[in-house]
Every structure is written in C-alpha cells, then in structure tokens.
Structure 1
Amino acid sequence: MEVKQNNLIKTLQIQPLIVVIRLDRQFFDISQKRKNLLLKINKLSNFGIKNIEIGWDSNPGWGNLILEIKKQFKSINIGAASISSMQSFDSICSLDLDYSMSPFFNKEIHLKAIKYNQLVIPGISNIESFKEAINLGYKIVKVYPASKLGINFIHELKNFKQKNIFFIGAGGIKSKNLKTLLNNGYDALVIGKELQNQTPDKDLEIWLKNY
C-alpha cells in the first residue's frame, strides 16, 4: 500500500483532480449506455483529464467493464469510487487498480485492504476517523463531504497531523471553486455530479490549461 500511496500522490501532484462517474440506472441492461460511457471518458481524456473514478456497481459485469476501460484508456489513471462494503472490496481485488475510495472510514475494510495491498482511501468527516486512518498508515485521505465541512475543517486536520498527509476534497465541489480550495489546504479534489454530465465547463477548461 505504501508504494501505491506514493504513486498516487505523485500523479495527483501533476494534476490534482479526479473526475468521478456514476453509472446510470439499467446501465448493464442497455448497450448504448456502455457506448456513451466510453465516449464520455474519451471526451474527458481529450480535454486533458488524467484521473477518473468509476462508481462501484453490484452488477457482476462491473469488473469486466473496469478492465475494458483500463485497456482502452491506458493514459488515464482509473480508480473505483464508493468502496463501502465487503462485496465492493472483494470485487476490486483482481482488477489491479492504482486506487479506490470509500465515502467513510470503515476499519474492517481498510484493514483488509492493507492485508491485500489494495489502496482504499478512507473518507474522513471527523478527527476521530482521521486519527484512526493515520494509525493504520494512511498518508492520503479523502475529506468528505468537503463542501459542507468547509475550509476550517481542513485547517483543523492540518493542525492535528503528526506527519505529511495528502488531503483530497470530495463532495459538492464545483469547478469554479477548484483554485480557491487548492489554495486553502486541499492537495487534490474530486468533482462529479456538480459537473453537468461530467463534461468540462468553461471554468474547468480554464483551470485545465495550467495542467
């Protein structure tokens, strides 16, 4: 896990943004939805997006979908979002992902992730979970929901840390706020449903020109 954490930090230092895509309802029942997803990822890649998370789905075909995306988009760092149950964790173990994320801190899942060398970044919303994550060896955490917890919370975490921690902000983040949040304590950010149809808007296009 140590190597995976270091590699992800290096990647996000180059471009501190992850775009998360959630699968539509009936995604696996309608073939056109798969085609639309691949077109969307291709469009994001053409805009210069380097890191994309795909929301976990309980459908048995989800794992093969991730492998297909990884094969087709080798220049993109693909991860999995919403790893919050043992079922979801078990489904990522054979995918050789560089990273996954959980919406909250689940010690049982994180202990298992460490055992099997899977990087499942914990979601943090309070000091207690932050302390536990650090004690488990995490040096990269996700602050969630960042838009509600605010800038003061990230400062509180920074005051509490005992070593360098890489902070990813997620939840309700808008592209127009990327620069402000990165200038006020966050090391990287996740943007999802606030970005309409996961298509870069003018604010994101301007921001991307610097990366």
Structure 2
Amino acid sequence: MEVKQNNLIKSLRIQPLIVVIRLENNFFNISDKRENLLLKIEKLSNCGIKNIEIGWDSNPEWVNLILQIKKKFKSINIGVASITSRQSLDSIRSLDINYSMSPYFNKEIHLKAIKYNQLVIPGISNIENFKEAINLGYKIVKIYPASKLGVKFINELQGFKKKDMFFIGAGGIKSKNLKSLLKLGYDALVIGKELRNQKPDKDLKIWLKNC
C-alpha cells in the first residue's frame, strides 16, 4: 500500500485534481451511455486532466467497463470511488487499480484493503478517525465533505498531522475555487457533480492552463 500511496501523491503533486464520474441510472441497460462515458473521459483527457475516478457499481459488467477504460486511456491515472463494502472491495482486487476512495472511515474495510494491498483512501470528518487512519499507515486521506467541514477543520487536522500527511479535499468543490482551496492547505482536490456533467468549464480550463 505504501508504494501506491507514494505513486498517487507523486501524480497529485504534478496535477492536484481528481475528477469523479458516477455512472448514470440504467447505465448498463442503455448502450449509448457507455459510449457517452468514453467520450466524456476523452474530452477531460484532451483538456489535460490526469486523474479520474469512476464510481463503483454492483453490476457484474462494471469490472469489464473499468478494464476497457484503463486500456483505452493509458495516460490517465484511473481510480474508483465509493468503496464502502466487502463486495466493492472484492470487485477491484483483479483490476490492478492504482487507488480508490471511501466516503467515510470504515476500519474493517480498510484493514481488509491493506491486507489485499489495495489503496482505499479513507474519508475523514473527525479527528478520531484521522488518528485511526494514521495508525493504520495512511499518509493520504480525503477530507469529506470539505465544503461543509470548512477551513477550521483542515486547520485542526494540520495541528495533528505528521510531516508527510497528504490532504485531499472532496465534497462540494467548485472549479472556480480550486486555486483558493489549495492555498488554504489542501494538497489536492476532488471535483464531481459541481462540474456540470463532468464537462470542462471555463474556470477549470483556466486553472489547468495555469497549473
């Protein structure tokens, strides 16, 4: 897990942004949705996005979808969002995924992930879980929901953090606020539904140009 953490941190230091794409309802029942997803990823890639997370889905075809995306977009660091159960954790074990994330801290899931050498970054919303994550060997955590927890919370975490801790902010992040949030102490940010239909907007294009 340590190697995967170091590799992700290295990638995010180059470009401190992850775009999350969650699958639409009935995604696997409508063939056009798969093609639209691939086109969406291609547009993000052409715009310069380097890190993309795809939301986990219980549909058996989901694994093949991720394999297809990995094969087609080799220049993108592909991850998986919403690992919250044993089923979701088991489904990523065969995918050779570089990273995944959980919206909250689930010690049982994280212990199993570590055992399987899977990087499942914990979502942190309180100091107690932050300390537990550190004790498990995490040096990268997701602060979620960042927009609601505010600057006070990240300042509080910084008072406890080790020198090598890496903070990812997620939840309610808008592209127009990327620059200011990174200055407040986040090492990287996750943007999802606040980016309309996950299409690069004017603010994101400006930020990428100056990144």
**TM-score, normalised relative to structure 1:** 0.99
Alignment of 1:116-135 (within 5 A): 116-135=116-135
Q: Deviations over 1:52-106 (max 9, x none)?
A: 0000000000011000000000000000000001110010000000000000000
Match of residue 3 from structure 2: 3
Partner of 1:60: 60
Residue 39 of structure 1 is matched in structure 2 by 39
Identity %: 82
Spell out structure 1 runs of 4+ moving beyond 6 A: none
Matching residue of 1:188: 188
Please list the CA deviations of residues 139-184 of structure 1 after superposition, one character each: whole Å capped at 9, or x if unmatched. Answer: 0000000000001100100101133200000000000110011000
Equivalent residue, structure 1, for 2:176? 176
One-letter amino acid matched to 2:67: L
Q: Which amino acid aligns with 1:141?
A: V
State the match for 2:76 in structure 1.
76
CA offsets per residue over residues 23-47 of structure 1, 9 Å max, x none?
Answer: 0000000000000000000000000
Distance 1:53 1:180 in 2: 23
Distance 1:52 1:192 in 2: 10
- Runs of at least 5 residues in structure 2 that lack an aligned partner in the other structure: none
What is the alpha-carbon distance in structure 2 between the residues aligned to residue 207 and residue 152 of structure 1? 25
Counterpart secondary structure, 2:171? coil
The one-letter amino acid paired with 2:73 is: F
* C-alpha distance in 2 between matches for 1:163 and 1:201: 35
Residue 166 of structure 1 is matched in structure 2 by 166
Secondary structure in 2 aligned to 1:209? helix
SS in 1 for 2:172: coil
Q: Secondary structure at the match of 1:95?
A: coil
Paired residue total: 211
Report the CA distance between 1:200 and its aligned residue. 1.0
The 3-state SS of whatever aligns with 1:148 is: helix
CA distance in 1, matches of 2:200, 2:36: 16
Q: Aligned partners of 1:125, 1:165: CA distance in 2, in Å?
A: 16
User: Is 1:99 matched up with 2:131?
Assistant: no
| Residues 113-139 of structure 1 deviation map (CA, whole Å, 9 limit, x = unaligned) | 111100000000000000000000000
What is the alpha-carbon root mean square deviation over aligned residues? 0.6
Unaligned runs of 5+ in 1: none
Aligned match of 1:205:
205
User: How far off its partner does 1:210 sit?
Assistant: 2.0
Q: Calculate the TM-score normalised by the size of structure 2.
A: 0.99
Amino acid at match of 1:167: F
